[in-house]
Amino acid sequence: HIIINMHHHDSLYEKPSQQKERFLSQWSQIASYFKNYPDSLLFEVLNEPHGNLSASMWNEYFASALAEIRKTNPTRVVLMDVADYGGLGSLSKLALPADEFIILSPHYYNPFPFATQGAAWVPGADAWLGTRWYDTEGERQTVANEFSHALHFSKINHVPLHVGEFGAYSKADMESRGRWTTFLSRWFEEH
């Protein structure tokens, strides 16, 4: 499967009301261009909505973009990211449109001090250098606890989950990254 994803739309994050018409026009054009492609092509409307694009605005903008997409792609699968950078914490703010071809796409970079240690784009991340992942029962349970609401949301709303991004930055030690990635990959597959 291939996912066409709108990424780093900084002008939309900064001035959403001024960029809404442009954003919807972009999706209208993308959808029209790819309308005859096979079902293995998916659309992801916007990566990690954040900034001045609030959660309530994101719900509205996603629904509007989906309406544009549905004009030419009535059954194409469309991925919906979660507001506030795609994290699980904003799942409760999400308003799913009534559409059977949506997949929810949260991102996962937790525990944050482990996954982002030393990352230049995260203020204070150098203080976390040396944080390890040991793959203990407690660490595994934390993942399960953090995803419990998402799994429940998925079940009651009949919407599949696709963890669109997860990873640990390269400044974490390789052994910890290997344990973390292996556990998460198998856990995501299981659920």
- Residue 47 makes CB contacts below 8 A (sequence gap 6+) with 5, 6, 7, 8, 81, 86, 164
Known catalytic residue: 189? no
* From 48, 68, 100, 175, active-site residue: 48
Known catalytic residue: 48? yes
* From 60, 139, 146, 165, active-site residue: 165
Burial 128-151 (b: 16+ CB within 10 A, else e): beebebeeeeebeeebeeebeebe
Question: Order of strands, edge to edge, in the sheet holding 78-80?
Answer: 2-5, 41-44, 78-80, 102-104
Token pair, residue 158, equals: 């009949």
Catalytic residues: 48, 165
